[in-house]
Structure 1
Amino acid sequence: MDNNIKDLPENWKTYSLQDLIDNNIILSHLDGNHGSLYPRKEEFIEKGVPYISANCIEGDSISFEKAKYLSNERAKKFKKGVAKNRDVLFAHNATVGPVALLDTDEDFVILGTSLTYYRCNEKFLKPEYLKHYLSSQVFKNQYLKVMGQATRNQVPITKQRTFSHIVPPLAEQKHIIGKLDRLFERIDQAISLLEENISNTEALMGSVLDEEFQRVKGKGWPTLKFTEFASLRHGHQFRKYDFVDSGIPVVKIGQCKKDGSLNLSNCNYIESSRLNEFEGDRIYKGDLLMALTGGTLGKVTWVSEDYGDLVQNYRVGNFFNIEGKSIKRFLMYVLMSSIFQDLVASKVNQGAQPNIGKENIDNMIVPVPSIKEQEKLVRKFDVAMKNQSKIIEFQTQKLNHLKVLKSSLLDQAFKGEL
C-alpha cells in the first residue's frame, strides 16, 4: 500500500493496478506504443478513425478537432492502444498527468505513444470514479515519485501497474461521482468566468494603446521606416546536436511570457563553456523580445529580471531602440499596438508555421513622435499597465485558489470525507 493511502473507511479496498487486472476489475490496460506499426506522416487523412495524443486532452475530455485520422483499413492493423467509448485515458509521456474520459460514437480510436487507456468492468469500477482518482494527489504522488527517479518525463505502463488504487463499494463510487461532478461544475463555471475576465483585462491595455495611436493623424506624428528608429536582432539557429542536459538556457518562444518573466523550467541548454561563441545572442534584463513564428507570433516580452547567462534562439526577436530616435519603453508599446500587430499580420509568411522575417519588419512604416512626446506617453502607458497587472494578479490568485479547491475536494473524496 502507498504510504499516502491510510485511514480509509473499513469497506474501502486498496489494490495495485495489477491486482485490479488480475481480478477482472480492469478489463484492459494498454498504451499506444505501436513499435513498427507506428503510422507514417503520409498515412494520415482528412477524416477517418481518430488517432489521438495527449495534446488532444482538454479539461477532462478529448478534443477531436486536434486529432489526426487514419483509414479504417490502416487503423485495424494496430494490436494495442485501441481505445473504446468510456475508456479512461491517462497521459503518461512528455506531458504527464492529464486525464480524460473517452466519449465517442466511433467503434474505436487509436492512441498515440503518449496515452494509456484503462477499461473498467463497470460492475465493480465506474470510469467516472477512476477518472477522478487518476486526477487526485494520491495518484499523482505515485507517478511523480517514478518520474523523480528517471531522466525522462514518462511513466511506463509497467510502473503504472504497481500503483495503488482506492476502490470503495459501487454505491460509494456513485456518491463520490455525483458530489464531485456537482461541485466541479460550479467551480469550473467560476474558473471560466475568471479566465474570461483576465482575457478582457489583458485586452484593456490594447484599448489604451489604440486610443492614443488613433490620434496620430491629428497630432501629425512623422512616419518612419522601422530601421530609422529601431533595430531587430535574430538569435542563433541552434540544432538538436547543440543541446545538452544542463548548462546555459536557450530562450525560445515558449519561454517568453507576456508578464515579462521567462519560464526556464522546460528549456534546452548549451554547454556553459560555449558562452563566448554566442556573445551576440545573449539576453539581459531590460531586453525587449517578440515571437517571430508560431501560434503566439507577435507576443511581446519585456525581460523584467536578471536570469544570469541566457542565449537567444533564432525565432525570438530582440528589439533595440536607436538613441535620439526612440526610447526603449516606447518601442515596447509600439510593438504591442494594433498598428504594429496589424502590420505583422499583413506580412506573415504562411506555411507549416506562420512566421515573419527581419526584412518584413525593417521595411514597416510606423508613426513615431518626438522623444519628449514618447516620454509623456510612456508615463501614461506605464500607469495603465501597472493597474492592469494588479487586476490580473488579483484575478489570477482567485483562479489559483479555485484550482487548489478542486484538488482539495479530490483528496477529501479519496479519504472518505466528502
Structure 2
Amino acid sequence: MSWEIKKIKDVALIIAGQSPEGKFYNEIQNGLPFYQGKKEFSDRFIGEPKVWTSLTTKEAIKDDLLMSVRAPVGPVNFATQNCCIGRGLAAIRVQEKFDKDFLFHFFKHIENTLTGNTGAVFNSINKTQIENIEIPVPSLEEQRQVIQKLDAAFELIDQAKANIEKNIQNAKDLFQSKLNQVFSQKGDGWEEKTLSELILKTKNINPKDFENREYKYVDVSAVDRKTLQIKEFSCINSENAPSRARKSLLEKDIIFATVRPTLKRVCLITKEFDKEICSTGYVVLRPNRNLIDPKMIFYFLQTSMFMKNMEELQKGASYPAVTDGEVKDQKIVIPINLDFQERIILNLDLLANQTEVLQQKYQQKLVNLEELRKSILEKAFKGEFV
C-alpha cells in the first residue's frame, strides 16, 4: 500500500467537549441541544436530544464526527445538527480534501484497538491523544472508492442482521404465545385462583440475629433477565448485612422483583440458595405443592398478561414499584390435577429449551457477522479495495 501515513491532526480539527453548569440545562429547547456522552448514539447518527443548554461551552456542527472519549472510548456518531458537547465527547471536523465517511469507517476500524502506552485499553482519551492517532491517507478519489465498497458490503451485513434479529424475536413471540395460551384455558378441570390462595406464608429474618451464620445474599439486580437465573450473590453475616437483606428463601420458591417490575426479574430458587436470603425488593412466592407445581407460577410470571398488569399497577416515576400484595392478588388459571400440571410443564420446558438453543444459534450468527465486518474494515484500510 502506497498510502501516506498521517496523524489525525493533519486531516481534522479536534474539539474537546466541556460541560456547562447544570443550571443552564433545560428540556424546553432553549439554546442548543446538549450531549454529555454516547447515551444517544446509534449505528451512525446521534439520536434526538433529551436536554438543551442555554449556555454553549464547546460546539459541534452538523456532520462533525462525535467521539466518545470516556469509557467506553472510541465509538463514533455523526452530529445531525449544531450542538453543545460535554466532557464525554470530542468533535472531529474533517478538513477539505478529506471525506468524513472515510474517517468514520477508520474510527470504526480502530474502535476496539485504542490502547495506552502500557497496552491497556483507555478509560479515557484526551484531545492530544486523538490528534496523534495515525491514519493511512489515500487520495480523495480512493477514499470514495473505499467508502462505496464498504457501504455496499455493510448494507448486506445490516440486512442479514435485521433478518436474524427478526427470527430471534419470532422465536420469543412463539414461546410467549404458548405461555399465554396455557394460562388462558377455561373449562372442566381448570380453576381460577389468586396467587395468594396457592402459596404458603413466608417470614422475614434478620441476619444480625445469627452471629455464627454466613448467608448468600441475592440483591435486587442479581437475577439475569435473559437466563432468569441468579448470576451473582454476595456473602453476608451479622456484621455486614444490609438492611434490605430480610427475606428467607427455600428451594423451589419463586422470587419476582417488585422494583421496576417490567424488567421481568423472576427466578425459581435452586438448591444452591436453599435457606439463604434475598432483598426486600423481591416478593417471595412459596407454592403450596398440594395445589400447584412451582414451575406453573414461574412460567405464569413470564406471561405478557401478567407483565401488563404489573405495568398498570406500578407507581413512582423515578423508582416504579408494585407491592407484594399486588403480585399475590394476581389471578391465575391452572389445572386442578397436579399430574396434568406436570405434563404442561414438561411441554413448556421442552419449548423453552428449544427456543434457547435457537436463540443461541442466531446470536452466534450475529457474532459471525460482526467478525466479518471487522475483517472487511481490516482489508479496506490495508488498501485492498482500490
TM class by shorter-chain length?
A: 0.7 to 0.9
State the alpha-carbon separation in 2 of the partners of residues 356 and 414 from structure 1.
Answer: 53
Contact 2:40/2:46 (<8 A) preserved: yes
> For 1:102 and 1:140, how far apart are their aligned partners in 2?
22
Instruction: Indicate if the aligned counterparts of 2:4 and 2:137 stay in contact, CA closer than 8 A.
Output: yes
**Contact kept in structure 2, 1:232 and 1:358, CA below 8 Å:** no
Alignment partners' CA distance in 2, 1:27 and 1:120: 6
TM-superposed CA distance for 1:282, in Å, is 8.8
Measure, in 2, the Cα distance between the counterparts of 1:395 and 1:204. 15
Distance 1:188 1:235 in 2: 52
- Which structure 2 residue ranges, 5 or more long, are not aligned? 207-215
Residue 178 of structure 2 corresponds to residue 186 of structure 1: no
| Distance verdict in 2 for CA 1:294–1:135, change over 3 Å | farther
Q: How does 1:18-417 map to 2 (within 5 A)?
A: 20=9, 23=10, 25-31=11-17, 33-34=18-19, 37-40=20-23, 43-48=25-30, 49-52=32-35, 53-64=37-48, 67-70=49-52, 74=54, 77-80=55-58, 82-104=59-81, 108-123=82-97, 125-136=98-109, 138-143=110-115, 148=120, 153-226=123-196, 228-229=198-199, 251-253=219-221, 256-260=224-228, 277=241, 280=246, 288-294=254-260, 296-301=262-267, 315=281, 319-370=285-336, 371-417=338-384
Q: Which has the larger radius of gyration?
A: 2
Give the counterpart letter for 2:135 in structure 1.
H
225-234 or 165-174, which moves further after superposition? Answer: 225-234
Change over 3 Å in CA distance of 1:122–1:256 after alignment to 2? farther
Task: Output the amino acid matched with 1:292.
Answer: T
Write the distance in 2 (CA, Å) between the matches of 1:181 and 1:207.
38
Which has the larger helix fraction?
A: 1
User: What CA distance in whole angstroms lies between the structure 1 residues aligned with 2:272 and 2:252?
Assistant: 9
Structure 2 contact 185–333 (Cα < 8 Å) conserved:
no
Change (3 A) 1:11 1:70: closer
- Mapped to 1, the partners of 2:190 and 2:156 lie a distance apart of 52
* 1:183 CA drift (Å): 0.8
1:108-129 CA-partner distances (Å, limit 9, x unpaired)? 2112332221111132x22111
Could you state the TM-score of these two structures normalised by the residue count of structure 1? 0.75
Could you tell me how far apart the structure 1 residues matched to 2:231 and 2:6 are?
39
**In structure 1, how many angstroms separate the alpha carbons of the residues matched to 2:239 and 2:249?**
12
Q: Is the Cα contact below 8 Å between 1:249 and 1:270 reproduced in 2? A: yes
Matched, 1:11 2:10: no
Q: Secondary structure at the match of 1:355?
A: coil
- Normalised by the length of structure 2, the TM-score is 0.80
Cα deviation, residue 200, structure 1: 1.5
Equivalent residues of 2:254, 2:298 under 8 A apart: yes
AA aligned to 2:99 is: K
Aligned to 1:241: none
Structure 1 residues 380 and 149: alpha-carbon distance in aligned structure 2, compared to 1, 3 A threshold:
closer
The offset of 1:296, in angstroms, is: 4.4
Kindly, what percent of the aligned residue pairs are identical?
A: 20
| Whole-Å separation in 2 of the counterparts to 1:391 and 1:375 | 24
Alignment-derived partner of residue 245 in structure 1: none
What CA distance in whole angstroms lies between the structure 2 residues aligned with 1:213 and 1:395? Answer: 29
CA RMSD of aligned residues (A): 3.7
Task: Measure how far apart 1:171 and its partner are.
Answer: 2.0
Q: Secondary structure at the match of 1:116?
A: strand
Question: Offset of 1:213 from its aligned partner?
Answer: 1.6
Q: Which residue of 2 aligns with 1:243?
A: none
5+ residue gaps, structure 1: 1-8, 237-247
CA distance in 2: counterparts of 1:321 and 1:391, whole angstroms = 31
- CA deviation profile, 1:203-233 (whole Å, cap 9, x unmatched): 1111111112221345431413436426789
**What CA distance in whole angstroms lies between the structure 1 residues aligned with 2:85 and 2:124?**
16
Q: Is the 8 A contact 1:101 1:128 kept in 2?
A: no
- Conserved in 1, the CA contact under 8 Å of 2:228 and 2:265? no
Residues 342 and 69 (structure 1 numbering): CA distance in 2 closer, same or farther, change over 3 Å? Answer: closer
- Structure 1: how far apart are the matches of 2:164 and 2:217? 33
